[in-house]
Amino acid sequence: MSDEAKEVNNIENNNIQIFVSEDVMEAFLLLKKPEENAPGYTLEEVMNVITANGIKGEIDKELIQYMIINGVYDEKRLFVQGHPMQNGIDAYFEYFFHEQDKEGKPRILDDGSVDYTSVHTVGTVSEGDLIAKYHPSVPGHFGYNVRGELLKPEQPRAYPVPQLMGVRYDQDTYSYYATIDGKVEATFSKIVVEGTLEIRKNVSIAYGNICFIGDVEIKGDVDSGVEIYATGSVKINGTVQGSSIVAGENVTIGGGIIGKKDIHIDCGGNLTVGFMQNVNVQVGGNITTGSTFGCNIYCGGTLKVAGSKGSIYAGKIYSMHGIEGHVFGNEKGIITYVSAGKRSELLTDRMSLLKEIEELSSKSKGINSRELALSRKIKEAPSSVLENALHVIRKDKARILAEKKQKEEVLNAINRLFAGESFSASITGTKFFTGVTVSIDMKEKEIESDITRVTFLRNEDGIYMVQ
């Protein structure tokens, strides 16, 4: 019996009492014990009271007859129930990609140290991936209470087909599939896969490493400890400090790069950066910067140090097609080595690159097989565990493809030189200080006294100067 039942005024017989629950979904009957020698109740008499109290529905007459015959008195019995209304179920999208903005927890390594790069990782999708599935709304059902009042369900929410880009829709299965590799963004109004990952903030170790198949654009700075891998280009509006970048195409940094041991900036295309300090660089194309200090640079094109001071000092610089700058070295005679054209290590460089590319190609084939097998499992039985595993595989895939593409472009620059590409390497500057060594086509010249406004070239006799 409901604790919320309440007595309803009996307008015909105070000995026959009706109680209705607060939600008007249940009604109870109570028969007072008749006085001695008083006539008993009849079914018709009880039904008249029930009707007079406005009770409707599937009344349990068998129960009422049982109470009358067996003298069930002074005890409430449920004799009718309403039919509950059932609200509809809203439509919803079920997503099958790793949520890139979902924060996690640092991973504890085997040695007890903490890997903060696991906190936030960027997810990607590949062509053909199931991104989302639409579950249509389910209509509700009308109900009624014990007074016969109709109970109307709320209308469930439904959604139209969202705006799509880089996505195809299968209307038979209500499923959405990626048509390109890239970053996925999904809301009720749009599902978009883009080839550019845009991050509108600074990136620190708390954000984590970035591995992306496509282009990466970061609106802020990149702090120490972060690694960025992109098969396309990388553009950073701010400064990079203590972080490594590998890009298959170009790298553009609005500020500068402040590095340290083992920090490297590698790209297959061109590098454009405000300044470089204590960083290892390997570039397949040209480099344009304002200054370099203590850098080891390998450039497959031309290095232009075009800042107001345009200084190159300390470190070891090699630029295949030549170097243009203002100041080389400094007044303290800091050791600075600059070279252009052919060099003795080029054959070794070429063999090393070929080996590294072969190893990366092998890894790529293996990871493609694992990705395909896991993608099939997810299509058969989607689960978050499998999606997370696929995300890890694709993160490795992006890293491998970025490294492979970058090394292939550097190798192409070397191969063009071996194929006899015609160019005359030169090194040009406003001032060369003592302590600088100039090398062109494996011929060296040490600067023994300061020289101004000079271009170094090479002929059959060695290096010569044009002022």
> Model confidence over 373-408: pLDDT tens digits?
888 887 788 777 887 788 888 889 999 999 999 999
Query: 3-state DSSP: the chain helix, strand, coil percent, rounded to 5?
Result: 20, 35, 45
Tens of pLDDT, residue by residue over 403-440, are: 999 999 999 999 988 887 667 889 999 999 999 999 99
- Tokens 């590949």 label which residue? 126
Structural Rg of the chain based on CA atoms: 39
Give the H/E segment covering residue 52: helix 43-52
Q: Please choose, from the candidates 298, 335, 294, the residue with its C-alpha nearest in 3D space to the C-alpha of residue 320.
A: 298
Structure token pair of residue 134: 């639409």
Name beta bridge partners: 111: none
What pTM did the predictor assign? Answer: 0.70
Q: Residue 197: what pLDDT?
A: 85
What sections of 306-433 are H helices per DSSP? 346-380, 384-418
Q: At what angle do helices 43-52 and 61-70 cross, to 10 degrees?
A: 130
Give the whole-angstrom CA distance, residue 387 versus residue 377.
10
Q: How far apart are CA 422 and CA 412, in angstroms?
A: 15
Report the distance separating Cα 363 and Cα 355, nearest Å.
Answer: 13
Phi, psi of 342 (to 5 degrees): -75, 150
Residue 99 pLDDT: 59
In the predicted model, residues of the chain with pLDDT beneath 50 are 1-12, 101-108, 112-123
The rounded distance, in Å, linking the Cα atoms of 231 and 406 is: 8
DSSP 364: H
Tokens of 317: 């610089």
Q: What are phi and psi of 360, to 5 degrees?
A: -65, -35
CA 317/CA 48 separation, integer angstroms: 106
Q: How many CA atoms lie within 13 A of 183 on its CB side?
A: 20
Tokens of 190: 């749009």
Locate tokens 């996505």: which residue?
167
Residue 116's contacts (CB-CB under 8 Å, 6 or more residues apart) are 106, 205, 206, 208, 225
Q: Which residues in 125-209 belong to E strands, given as ranges?
A: 130-135, 143-144, 150-151, 163-165, 167-170, 175-178, 183-186, 190-194, 196-199
Alpha carbons 335 and 156: distance in angstroms, whole number: 75
The structure tokens listed for 73 are: 């008195």
- Residue 134 and residue 191 in contact, taking contact as beta carbons nearer than 8 Å: no
Closest CA to 441 of 461, 413, 415: 461
As a whole number of angstroms, the distance between CA 336 and CA 438 comes to 9
Answer for the pair 288, 271: CB distance below 8 angstroms, yes or no: yes
CB 395 within 8 A of CB 121: yes
